[in-house]
Amino acid sequence: MISVILIGAGNVAQHLYKVFSTSNKIKVNQWYNRHLQKLQMFKNDVEIIDDIVLLKEADVYVITISDDAVSELSKQLPFSNELVVHTSGSVNLHHLEKKNRRGVFYPLQTFSKDAELNFNDVPICIEVEHKTDYHILKDIAIAIGSPYYRVNSLQRGALHLAAVFVNNFTNQLYRVAHEITESESVDFNILKPLIKETAKKLDTLSPYLAQTGPAKRNDKKTIKKHLASLDNEMHKDIYKLLTKAIKDTHGTSTSSAFKKPNSK
Amino acid sequence: MISVILIGAGNVAQHLYKVFSTSNKIKVNQWYNRHLQKLQMFKNDVEIIDDIVLLKEADVYVITISDDAVSELSKQLPFSNELVVHTSGSVNLHHLEKKNRRGVFYPLQTFSKDAELNFNDVPICIEVEHKTDYHILKDIAIAIGSPYYRVNSLQRGALHLAAVFVNNFTNQLYRVAHEITESESVDFNILKPLIKETAKKLDTLSPYLAQTGPAKRNDKKTIKKHLASLDNEMHKDIYKLLTKAIKDTHGTSTSSAFKKPNSK
């Protein structure tokens, strides 16, 4: 049995609490938050506290609070030489106070407040200061059914950045599509199967090989028509830039005489 | 029983042939292609021809050839007053020769050569010149289990354009993410659950409400850090433009004093 204490009460903390509670390999000893109000609904299931000096013993302390607050909170911890991890994609391991054994337990997924999430679909990126701490974090990932990966700081940074592209920026493209369909009073739902298939295609093809469309085949006529039909300047700019990016990637830019070498 | 004749031998034609063949409400009478070679493997199951004057009677003629060739081919059809449809998202209905009853049967999906595709996930966008032809195209959609939508030309154009954003451009963002992860030798597969969840989130939230991330919350520190860690100029440009687009959409641009009204 691995004992865990949670610190923080946001989305990620609540999802972690829920999945930890369902595992018979993990025991949540305590749950700390600055404001007790947010934890009230769990008070019958776990000890909740808002005074940091009351923190008990545990195998792992999991800090899931806003990035900017991690460093300061880690300094206030009333113990040393314990395993303390944060769950952020972008906070440096060394922002945790060095009096404790430091680590990162970064669930690379988008967490919605209400949506149920299967932790089989939540890859855990693990980073540790001390080699020997890897196994306990790995065992937690296994206990909740998550795939896990050991990464270093640079790799975690790359994943966090890449996640912005595939999550935040992709979602903004969905938003643009929503605006385009709404402008002609056509149902955005028609696009949802395509949206899902586009994601699913990566099961069998790399993004490089999965690419199709007017930019890929340098279909100037369609590109021109599309640009003419866009009246939102921001949509036009996005269309132009991503068309150029696809052409550059696939060597269909008219400016380049040779196909660029690319990893497939 | 609806009789259909297919014209063309590409991806879409082959997927349509396959699904038409499995329906007991549809009979493929003939399959025409300019080059018979591409149809040889189907010759035991359907009459294949490469001479357009040999085209027989059918309820619907489905032209699935490259956009640029649709108009010319429709002129060569050796009959008139029949229902002739193309399957393109971007070709004008009026590019079909007017001697026949014209229509569009546009499957809005990404078709891979080998991947199996469930037609439940292929919305059919139907456009007709003559009202009375709508029902036969609708019945074909029903026979293959596809959701169907009646659209006009402008709506089909909007869907085709929006599809470029959610399919081609989104896939290019996946490609950028692949390049970013590869640059740190980290496994791109780690991102796949997030990619799928991002698409799936639209089942319950609009893209507007689903938006998260540094641009949405105007987290300048993280944005600055991300830009500093990108050394590919194209990646930087995409990051900047889509960050600006998200800020504009969610009223977090520092330049705008007021929240923009937005459809949710």
Percent of chain B clearing pLDDT 90 (strictly above): 92
Distance CA A69, CA A54 (A): 19
pLDDT, tens digit, for every residue of A168-200? 999 999 999 999 999 999 999 999 999 999 999
Q: Does pLDDT of B264 surpass 60?
A: no
Which residue among A162, A178, A212 sits closest to B181, beta carbon to beta carbon? Answer: A162
The answer to whether the CB atoms of A172 and B207 lie below 8 A apart is: yes
For residue B253, what pLDDT is reported? Answer: 67
Nearest Cα to Cα of residue A191 among B174, B66, B139, B202 = B202
- Long-range contacts (CB closer than 8 Å, 24 or more residues apart) made by A9-16: A9/A33, A9/A35, A9/A38, A9/A39, A10/A64, A10/A65, A10/A66, A11/A111, A11/A112, A11/A113, A12/A64, A12/A87, A12/A107, A12/A111, A13/A62, A13/A64, A15/A107, A15/A111, A15/A117, A16/A62, A16/A64, A16/A87, A16/A107
Nearest Cα to Cα of residue A88 among A115, A108, A60 = A108
pLDDT, tens digit, for every residue of A37-71? 999 999 999 999 999 999 999 999 999 999 999 99
B110 touching chain A per CB within 8 A? yes
Domain A156-250 has CATH 1.10.1040.20: yes
Q: Does pLDDT of B225 surpass 70?
A: yes
**Residue of chain A with shortest Cα separation from B171:** A207
A69 touching chain B per CB within 8 A? no
Burial of B135 (0-12, 13-18, 19+ CB in 10 A): exposed
**Fold adopted by A2-151:** Rossmann fold (3.40.50)
Q: Print pLDDT tens along chain A (264 aa).
A: 999 999 999 999 999 999 999 999 999 999 999 999 999 999 999 999 999 999 999 999 999 999 999 999 999 999 999 999 999 999 999 999 999 999 999 999 998 777 778 999 999 999 999 999 999 999 999 999 999 999 999 999 999 999 999 999 999 999 999 999 999 999 999 999 999 999 999 999 999 999 999 999 999 999 999 999 999 999 999 999 999 999 999 997 654 444 444 444
Burial of B149 (0-12, 13-18, 19+ CB in 10 A): buried
- Which range (A247-256, B112-121, B236-245, B253-262) has the least confidence? B253-262
Query: Chain B residues with CB inside 8 Å of A238's CB?
Result: 165, 169, 241-242, 245
Q: Does pLDDT of B96 surpass 70?
A: yes
pTM listed for this prediction: 0.92
The answer to whether the CB atoms of A157 and B263 lie below 8 A apart is: no
Distance from CA of A148 to the nearest CA of B (A): 9
For residue A40, what pLDDT is reported? Answer: 96
For residue B256, what pLDDT is reported? Answer: 42
Q: Does pLDDT of B260 surpass 50?
A: no
Distance CA B31, CA B6 (A): 5
Best mutation target among A186, A211, A231 (most B Cβ atoms within 10 Å) is: A186
**What average pLDDT score do residues B135-143 get?**
98
For residue A253, what pLDDT is reported? Answer: 67
Query: E-strand spans in chain B?
Result: 2-7, 26-32, 48-49, 60-63, 83-86, 101-107, 124-128, 148-150
Percent of chain B clearing pLDDT 70 (strictly above): 95
Going across the sheet that includes A26-32, the strands are A48-49, A26-32, A2-7, A60-63, A83-86, A101-107, A124-128, A148-150
| Identity of the residue numbered A57 | E
Query: Chain A residues with CB inside 8 Å of B202's CB?
Result: 174, 192, 195
Query: Chain B residues with CB inside 8 Å of A237's CB?
Result: 241
* Lookup: tokens for B133: 């032809």
Distance CA B3, CA B58 (A): 5
Domain ranges of chain B: 2-151, 156-250
Using DSSP, state whether A204 is helix, strand or coil.
coil
B251 touching chain A per CB within 8 A? no
Best mutation target among B148, B166, B217 (most A Cβ atoms within 10 Å) is: B166
Which residue among B90, B173, B200 sits closest to A165, beta carbon to beta carbon? Answer: B173
For residue A116, what pLDDT is reported? Answer: 78
- Which range (B69-78, B79-88, B106-115, B247-256) has the least confidence? B247-256
| Identity of the residue numbered B113 | K
Distance from CA of A149 to the nearest CA of B (A): 8
| Predicted complex ipTM exceeds 0.90 | yes
Distance CA B115, CA A189 (A): 23
- DSSP secondary-structure letter at A125? E
